[in-house]
A = this chain, B = another copy of it.
Amino acid sequence: MSDTVLYDYWRSSASYRLRIALNMVAETFRTVPVDILAKEHRSQEHLARNPQGLVPVLEIDGHSFTQSLAVIEYLDETRGGAFLPGDSVGRQRVRALSYVIAMEIHPVCNSHVGAHVMSITGGGEEARVAWMRKFIGEGLAAFEVLLDSPSTGAFCHGDRPSMADICLVPQVYNARRWGVDLSACPRLVAIADRCVELKPFAKAHPDQVKPSGS
């Protein structure tokens, strides 16, 4: 069996998702840090792994995969991750919740987008923080409304963590980093806080993989 390798940046939400998912299926893996601040993700070496120049990239089963949610679906199919419920209506809901974060919040607030906002507004760090707070805040507010459903349990969907929780936890970590006001989102905060107590989530926390000196 070939080595499972995660090309990782400690503070990347998408990398954090994959660390959680790999831990949940008890997949042994080693991480190779890609230092975004040092622009290692734009190096020829990394662009050969992913022409988008993004982390994470996962080498597994002899393949090299990009796009964290596509990898989570792969782990679900090949490792029985149970990241999605068994019924199609439930699967639709978990995917939709996941995409509210992974499509509508995260890419709009990705580091290269934030840097571009600073560049075109000339507003410096203040412009970036305002951008992050607006789009993370609005996105999580919609997520909170979507949790007002009989399908929500101790976790986003029922009483076990799903792909939606794997997306939520890194986004809440990221929201706190940018100082987003989460006081109107008690439900998602409670779920995220419940998740981080679980071992696969705890082991995946950015502080656990942060290189010394970062």
Query: Quick one: which of A142-158 are within 8 Å of B by CB?
Result: 142, 145-146
How many copies of this chain?
2
Q: Is residue A189 contacting chain B, with contact meaning CB distance below 8 A? A: no
From A17-25, A112-120, A170-178, the one touching the partner chain is: A112-120
Given contacts A52-B142, A142-B52, contact A103 B107 (CB under 8 A): yes
Please give the distance in Å from A109's CB to the nearest CB on chain B: 10
Contact B51 A73 (CB under 8 A): no
Query: Quick one: which of A69-89 are within 8 Å of B by CB?
Result: 69-71, 73-74, 77-78, 88-89
Q: Is residue A11 contacting chain B, with contact meaning CB distance below 8 A? A: no
Question: What is the bound-complex CA distance between A146 and B74, given in angstroms?
Answer: 18
Nearest CB to that of A68 among chain B residues?
B99
Given contacts A74-B88, A107-B108, A108-B108, contact A65 B142 (CB under 8 A): no
Question: What is the bound-complex CA distance between A121 and B66, given in angstroms?
Answer: 33
Contact B116 A134 (CB under 8 A): yes
Contact B69 A99 (CB under 8 A): yes
Given contacts A78-B88, A142-B51, contact A67 B117 (CB under 8 A): no
Which of A70, A117, A131 has the most CB atoms of chain B within a 10 A radius of its CB?
A70
Q: Is residue A124 contacting chain B, with contact meaning CB distance below 8 A? A: no
Q: Is residue A59 contacting chain B, with contact meaning CB distance below 8 A? A: no
Query: Quick one: which of A93-117 are within 8 Å of B by CB?
Result: 93, 95-96, 98-100, 102-104, 106-108, 110, 113, 116-117
Question: What is the bound-complex CA distance between A117 and B139, given in angstroms?
Answer: 17
Query: A130 — which chain B residues lie within 8 A by C-beta?
Result: 120
9 A-B pairs within 8 Å (CB atoms) are namely A51-B141, A51-B145, A51-B146, A66-B96, A70-B92, A70-B96, A74-B92, A107-B107, A107-B108
List A residues at the B interface (Cβ < 8 Å). Answer: 51-54, 61, 63, 65-67, 69-71, 73-74, 77-78, 88-89, 91-93, 95-96, 98-100, 102-104, 106-108, 110, 113, 116-117, 120-121, 123, 127, 130-131, 134-135, 139, 141-142, 145-146
